Amino acid sequence: MNQGPTTHSRIAWAKWLPILAWGRAYDGRQLGGDLLAAGIVTLMLIPQSLAYAMLAGLPPQAGLYASMLPLLAYAVFGSSRTLAVGPAAVTSLMTATAIGQLAAPGTPAYWEAALALALLSGGILLVMGLLRLGFLANFLGHPVIAGFISASGLLIAFGQARHVLGVSAHGDTLLELLPALWHQLPMLNWPTLMLGGGALLFLWWSRQRLGRRLRAWGWRSGLVDVLGRAAPVLAIALTTLAVWAWNLQDQGVKVVGAVPQGLPSLTWPTWNPALWSSLAMPALLLSLVGFAESVSVGQTLAARRRQRVEPDQELLALGASNVAAAVSGGLPVTGGFSRSVVNFDAGARTPAAGVYTAIGIALAALLLTPLLRYLPQATLAATVIVAVLSLVDIAVFRRIWRYSRFDFSVAAATLALTLLAGVETGLVAGVVLALALHLYRSSRPHVAEVGQVPGTEHFRNVRRHAVNTCEAVLGLRVDESLYFANARYLEDCINDAVARRQQLKHVVLQCSAINDIDASALASLEMIEVRLREAGICLHLSEVKGPVMDRLSRTSFLQCLSGQVFLTHYQAIAALAPEGLGK
Amino acid sequence: MNQGPTTHSRIAWAKWLPILAWGRAYDGRQLGGDLLAAGIVTLMLIPQSLAYAMLAGLPPQAGLYASMLPLLAYAVFGSSRTLAVGPAAVTSLMTATAIGQLAAPGTPAYWEAALALALLSGGILLVMGLLRLGFLANFLGHPVIAGFISASGLLIAFGQARHVLGVSAHGDTLLELLPALWHQLPMLNWPTLMLGGGALLFLWWSRQRLGRRLRAWGWRSGLVDVLGRAAPVLAIALTTLAVWAWNLQDQGVKVVGAVPQGLPSLTWPTWNPALWSSLAMPALLLSLVGFAESVSVGQTLAARRRQRVEPDQELLALGASNVAAAVSGGLPVTGGFSRSVVNFDAGARTPAAGVYTAIGIALAALLLTPLLRYLPQATLAATVIVAVLSLVDIAVFRRIWRYSRFDFSVAAATLALTLLAGVETGLVAGVVLALALHLYRSSRPHVAEVGQVPGTEHFRNVRRHAVNTCEAVLGLRVDESLYFANARYLEDCINDAVARRQQLKHVVLQCSAINDIDASALASLEMIEVRLREAGICLHLSEVKGPVMDRLSRTSFLQCLSGQVFLTHYQAIAALAPEGLGK
């Protein structure tokens, strides 16, 4: 009996610390899968973390640091078994945009701001997790994300083009980037273009063709995948070798240079309210985008093994990961799509794979950093460009266009504004536009006059079907819940309909599609009722749903109603037009 | 045949100029009703227009000017037959608040700003009318308006208290007004309090008791009403007489003073972009509040005679009225509730009554202004206080509380913020809160697992009814249209339900309450389908509505669907669990 509280507290802890659940059942079979997956993810994460640090405008070690402690934090708090966190393309772009307005890349103030951004973002995610505000990410609807991600991919690709060309062209929008690239084009550095262009072609070829070729030669699929993932490493090794062998850095090829060897030291970001307040909005957007991406990847993978990902727990885990990044010199992190899929496919069973990956990155930071001295930035840019071009998705725009012009306009506006006005403006404008259009649509619900299908008890829209109606009874069906934004529209519809019919005696509202009626809509119904009564017309309701009826019965509306509430529309018509409906 | 274009253009004109429709059918019977109504409304409007000008911080003639040309403009463009426009309590308060931040009351700059506000508000209303944006006013939901109007009434009453006490205590919020009144209390002017308090008691008594008393004595109801409306005029006459007779202005009783005799001269507000841009937001709020109040009054009255009020035409008419106020030295106007009801009850048949009222006010401005010299401000304040206290409505809060805690929180927050942070903050915060709560509610729709009612083809929520289910088939009913804000919630619900059922083979979504599926929700459905398929589960749909089905068939979703689309949920269960459902 005295076991009770212990069990209870263990369950309570396990809810907040998923590691307690999977950690106690950890065994050798899981170890094998986790270790193999960690090896492959490490191989993939080294070039990615360097490249995304460069994309964010930070020194390369920031990328490595962001791939150690945050992974440990996620392993403790994360509810996804296979999500691989770390620096990612879109969040790195958002980091660069947010901090670029405050400090010059390469300065200590810039790195400090990146840490502050990671800390703020972590804090926001933790607060959202504790308050269970994960639903906020839902406001990044599919069209907004589609437009935003495609635009981000293009912005990143054009932004990184300068590294491949060996020129200096900066900008947060296409309006800044394209003219800058154009003006710098005559100054391009040919050795850089050779290396970068070569890496680009090789990576693109290995991504698009290599796998198919090797499989055609009878290679095992798993091995092919590993080789495919290793292509960036190979490109890095070859181009580094080339720089070192031919002293290309003397011919203007920009290299990563000296990277401090070793593990990050723990530091708490300095207290800087002015900096924090100017980073608050970017941090919020970064948090929402990172969370939306991460939770979507996590849920997709979890569902394959019938596991669960808790969105609110994911907020806590991502929050802890970002705080971990902030205190260990990293940049903002999130769950990445490609590396999580690799982790899953390579057989990772538990978040321990993330721990082993972190150890792998730590070993790389301890042992391999001297090798990065001659790594050309053009190669890193090439890996980024190849990775982000897969984000640019034309097909999704075509699909949205075919499905809904409203949604397409949201996607297109988000795309255009992100490209032309920057990531933050584009994202916020997309969300606001989506909300405005949603409210506009639901503020003009479909209201159909219904008539009886001859010989049946069914009622259909008079404009679509040959149905019977009568002059004295008007049946209206509203295809939307009634709330403040559409309540007056319903008043208008009924006023309209009544003004056109001088014989009218009864109006019956068929409420089968009304899931909710808020206080504004109730006020409108009362107003409709009063106006109809003064015009000598009775208002009736039919097919009111249970929960809606429960709420209405708590008001005086049903007592004041001049008409009745009918269970079915057929009963209403039978009672009000006993002689039957004629055309 | 060549009559066609003329008829057509006449109809087109009549749409924009309702005066063409009623004007051509105007006859003696209508003239009688309109003249009587105009007489009574003029009697009522003289003290109101003086008092609301004072409330807005403007000289008294501004109120008279706002009751001439705007009424003519409304008569030309308005679609309501009986709406009486002019200065109103809440819009005057909003005017005072908006301009008080920019100029000191009594200065020419203050009046100039009021004209600019009327012009901007008129412009906004005209643009909204031309773009048919009347639906924007719907976002002022019932709880927001209830909270805002009650708070405005209290703010006006406390703001006018200084005139009754004869002190100087200003403020836009209760936090400013109450301490100011408290500190000024020792300086109160006894003669002013006598006059103002007396007027207050007399007006309150005549409003609450007089009518009942007179009717009990057998007076005719119409005459009683006219006498009731004339009470403010009587109060004004008596107190003016008292001031004049006893030279009370020498004892500190503030009087209206010299009012220029005659009609307003037409002036165009000076071009002042800095002023206009700082007034843009207040003008927008003023326009929305004025329009919402006006259109609601107009529709209520029109319905009694089975007439129509066109919200978009009303925007044009109110816009024209405010532009007319701006060019003739008035203050922002709107359709007032009490005077429109009086107009209607007194028998007004057409907007010509408004023209006659304007003539009446013009005669008053020409002939009666010398009489206003000794009119005490305390009396005007008393008429305002008695009028606005009817705006404070406790019962509506009780009703909203009983109906919905969500809506009550919106009303209470709007009330509190309007009182404590001012009209603009309160109104905006109320609208934003209402939107946020609406989105929050619809982002967590009611999703019920349904089972078969034994022996029927009906399916009901398993938590509410004793129904049959089976391990292999899960039926879910979603009681909301699917859109971006709730799409992922549905994913979560289904992930959850699937993770808890290891025997599951089929999920059937009953779509009877789904009126719309946007692109985000479609993406979520595709994601749900893919995840279920990878877990070896088929997704089926049942009872999909026609328009929703039309859109889905334009996508590849239905082809990719692992399951089927069933016409009824019963058919789905019959096909998927042919051996029947057992508990």
Task: Sort out which chain B residues have CB atoms less than 8 A from A492's CB and list them.
Answer: 311
Q: Do A518 and B407 touch (CB under 8 A)?
A: yes
User: The tokens 């808890």 sit on which residue?
Assistant: B500
- Tell me whether residues B554 and A402 touch, CB distance under 8 A: yes
Task: Work out the mean pLDDT of chain B and round it to a whole number.
Answer: 88
Tokens of A580: 């039957």
Chain A, nearest residue to B481 by Cα: A480
Q: Which H/E stretch holds residue B580?
A: none
Model confidence pLDDT, tens digit, residues B349-398: 899 999 999 999 999 999 988 888 899 999 999 999 998 888 888 998 99
Nearest alpha-carbon partner for A282 in A124, A443, A499: A124
Residue of chain B with shortest Cα separation from A440:
B135
Q: Using the beta-carbon criterion (under 8 Å), do A480 and B481 form an inter-chain contact?
A: yes
Are the Cβ atoms of A142 and B524 closer than 8 angstroms? Answer: yes
Contacts of B311 in chain A (CB under 8 A): 488, 492
Q: Which of A159, A156, A155 is nearest to A167 (CA)?
A: A159
Contacts of A498 in chain B (CB under 8 A): 303, 306
Average pLDDT over residues B553-582: 85
pLDDT in tens, chain A (583 residues): 344 444 555 556 767 788 887 888 888 888 988 998 898 889 889 988 999 999 999 999 999 999 999 999 999 999 898 999 999 999 999 999 999 989 998 899 999 999 999 999 999 999 999 998 877 877 888 899 899 999 999 999 999 999 999 998 888 899 999 999 999 999 999 999 999 999 999 999 888 777 788 888 887 777 777 777 778 889 999 999 999 999 999 998 999 888 888 899 888 878 888 888 899 999 999 999 999 889 888 877 877 777 778 888 999 999 999 999 999 999 999 998 888 888 888 888 899 999 999 999 999 999 988 888 899 999 999 999 998 888 888 998 999 999 999 899 999 999 999 999 999 899 999 998 998 888 888 888 888 899 988 888 878 888 878 888 888 899 999 888 898 888 888 888 888 888 888 889 999 999 988 888 998 899 889 888 988 888 889 999 998 888 889 889 988 899 889 899 998 898 999 899 877 665 4
Backbone φ and ψ of A139, nearest 5°? -75, -10
Q: Quick count: other Cβ atoms within 10 Å of Cβ A8? A: 10
Specify whether the CB–CB gap between A538 and A562 falls below 8 A: yes
Token couple for B573:
């269960």
Type of residue numbered B550: D
Q: Residue B508 belongs to what H/E stretch? A: strand B506-510
For the four alpha carbons of B484, B490, B491 and B492, in that order, the dihedral sign comes to: positive
Check B404 against A535: CB less than 8 A apart.
no
CB contacts of B532 in chain A (<8 Å) are: 303
Provide the 8-state DSSP code for B518: -
Q: Which range is least confidently modeled, A209-213, A342-346, B401-405, B493-497?
A: A209-213
**Alpha-helix runs per DSSP H in A166-220:** 174-184, 190-205, 211-216
**Max Cα separation, chain A?**
100
User: Is B402 within 8 Å of A555 when comparing Cβ atoms?
Assistant: yes
User: Which tokens hold the place of B281?
Assistant: 């937001």
SS3 A477: strand
Interface contact A444-B306, CB threshold 8 A? no
Pull the structure tokens for residue A452: 């009886």
DSSP B208: I
- The average pLDDT across B258-285 equals 88
Chain B residues touching residue A137 (CB < 8 angstroms)? 488
A305, two tokens: 């093994």
DSSP assignment string, A289-341: HHHHHHHHHHHHHHHHTT----HHHHHHHHHHHHHHHHHTT----EE-HHHHH
Give the minimum alpha-carbon distance from A193 to chain B in angstroms, rounded to a whole number: 40
User: Identity (one letter) of the amino acid at B127?
Assistant: V
Which residue out of B80, B128, B138, B308 would a mutagenesis test of the A interface target, given it has the greatest number of A Cβ atoms within 10 Å?
Answer: B138
In B305-445, which ranges are continuous DSSP H helix? Answer: 311-327, 337-345, 352-367, 377-389, 394-403, 405-421, 423-443
Residues of A within 8 A of B480 (CB-CB) are 481, 515
Q: In whole angstroms, what is the distance from residue B81 CA to residue A80 CA? A: 65
Q: Which residue has the higher pLDDT, B308 or A125?
A: A125
Which residue among A295, A303, A499 sits closest to B306, beta carbon to beta carbon? A499
For the entire predicted model, the pTM comes to 0.78
Closest partner residue to B135 (CB to CB) among A141, A444, A495 is A444
- Cβ partners under 8 Å of residue A546, min gap 6: none
Which chain A residue is nearest to residue B292, measuring alpha carbons? Answer: A488
Residue contact A519–B404, C-beta within 8 A: yes
Is the CB of B300 less than 8 angstroms away from the CB of A530? yes
Cα angle B405-B410-B413, degrees, rounded to a multiple of 5: 115
Cβ-based neighbours of B509, under 8 Å, separated by 6 or more: B476, B477, B478, B539, B540, B541, B542
Contact B554 A483 (CB under 8 A): no
Q: Which of B499, B515, B522 sits opposite A403 (nearest CB)?
A: B522
| B571 closest CA partner among B446, B459, B454 | B459
Residue B534 per-residue DSSP state: H
Which of A405, A495, A533, A559 is the best substitution to test chain B (most B C-beta atoms within 10 A)?
Answer: A495
Among chain B residues, the shortest Cα distance to A305 is held by: B535
- CB contact (8 A) between residue A144 and residue B534: no
Alpha-carbon distance B384 to nearest alpha carbon in chain A (angstroms): 27
Band the pLDDT of B2: cuts 50, 70, 90: very low
Q: What is the DSSP track for A146-172?
A: HHHHHHHHHHHHHHHHHHHHT-----S
Q: What is the ipTM of this complex?
A: 0.76
Rounded to a whole number of angstroms, the distance from the CA of A29 to the nearest CA of chain B is 22
Residues of B in contact with A502 (CB under 8 A): 306
Three-state secondary-structure class, residue B253: coil
Do A515 and B135 lie within an 8 Å CB cutoff? no
User: Among candidates B301, B362, B295, B304, which has minimal Cα distance to B334?
Assistant: B295
CB contact under 8 A, B403 and A551: yes
Residues of chain B in contact with residue A141, where contact means CB-CB under 8 angstroms, are 483-485, 487, 518-520
CB of B44 closer than 8 Å to CB of B229: yes
Mean pLDDT throughout B455-482? 86
Size of interface A-B (CB pairs under 8 A): 206
Cβ-Cβ contacts under 8 Å, A520 against chain B = 141-143, 407
- Kindly determine whether residue B406 and residue A496, on different chains, have CB atoms separated by under 8 Å: no
Helices (H), B206-250: 211-216, 221-246
CB-based contact A88:A331 (threshold 8 Å): no
Tokens of A313: 């727990």
pLDDT value, residue A391: 85
Could you give the CA distance from residue B351 to residue B347 in angstroms, rounded to a whole number? 12
- Residue from A443, A445, A509 nearest A476 by CA: A509
Residue from the list B139, B309, B403 with its beta carbon closest to the beta carbon of A555: B403
Question: What is the number of H-type helices and E-type strands within chain A?
Answer: 25, 8
pLDDT at A443: 82
Which residues on chain B are in Cβ contact (under 8 Å) with A135? 440, 443-444, 485, 488-489
CB atoms within 10 A of CB B287: 28
Considering CB atoms only, which of A137, A492, A519 is closest to B142? A519
Mutation pick from B135, B145, B437, B532 vs chain A, by most beta carbons of A within 10 Å, is: B135
Chain B hits for A479, CB-CB cut-off 8 Å, are: 515, 545
Distance from CA of A469 to the nearest CA of B (A): 21
Nearest-by-CA chain B residue for A549: B403
Q: Which residue of B has its CA nearest to A142?
A: B520
Distances (CA, A) of A226 to A218, A300, A342, A390, A435: 15, 22, 9, 19, 43
**Contact call for A406 and B518, based on CB within 8 A:** yes
Torsion, Cα of A137, A142, A144, A146 (10° steps): 120
CB nearest to B484's CB, from A303, A434, A485: A434
Beta-carbon separation of A519 and B141 below 8 A: yes
Q: What is the phi/psi pair of residue A451, to 5°? A: -130, 170
